[in-house]
Amino acid sequence: MNTKSLLAVYPGSYDPVTNGHIDIIERGRRLFDRLIIAVLHNPGKRPLFSLDERLEILRELYSGDSNITVESFDGLLIDYAVAREANVIVRGIRYVSDFEYEFQMALMNRRLHPQIETLFMLPSESYSYVSSRLVKEVFQFGGSVKGLVPECVERRLQARPPFMNTSR
């Protein structure tokens, strides 16, 4: 019997987390003993939600789950995964167009540290067109994002200063 405990890291910007991410998290948690949702801290980018907000949202969603942890990381993802002694990096693939970049990233990460596998997972087809970027754009121009993001994200979007949704 294989008693090895499997730890997966699911990295991303999560600006904001969408129901597509949630779908992958729900699938991932069934496969792994532990799942770390790793939020990228990239000081070179100006996200809509600050790192603290992104962590807060994810912790709000997963605070009751003993096998899910929410953390931030900076620098190289693979270094972070090694430091956490993860076995697997999980990435969601929506369409073929995602694959090109993900393929390069996975092979680069493997070159840097061959022991860690990248696992591509498919979200439900109902989320295959959902991205954080489109969610922000739709919201910014007054469109509804209901059903595309968790309710707590929708509430936080609505609570943002009006310059973010001037067409409403």
Q: What is the binding site for ligand PNS (CB under 6 A)? A: 11-13, 40, 76-77, 105, 108-109
CB of 77 vs ligand PNS, minimal distance in Å: 3
Taking the least distance from each CB to ligand PNS, the nearer of 25 and 77 is 77
DSSP 19-73: HHHHHHHHHHHHH-SEEEEEEE--TTS--SS-HHHHHHHHHHHHTT-TTEEEEEE
Query: Is 26 buried (19+), middle (13-18) or exposed (0-12) by CB count in 10 A?
Result: exposed
CB of 55 vs ligand PNS, minimal distance in Å: 14
Residues involved in catalysis: 21, 45, 94, 132
CB of 164 vs ligand PNS, minimal distance in Å: 20
| Selection from 73, 88, 1, 71 nearest residue 36 by Cα | 71
Taking the least distance from each CB to ligand PNS, the nearer of 77 and 130 is 77
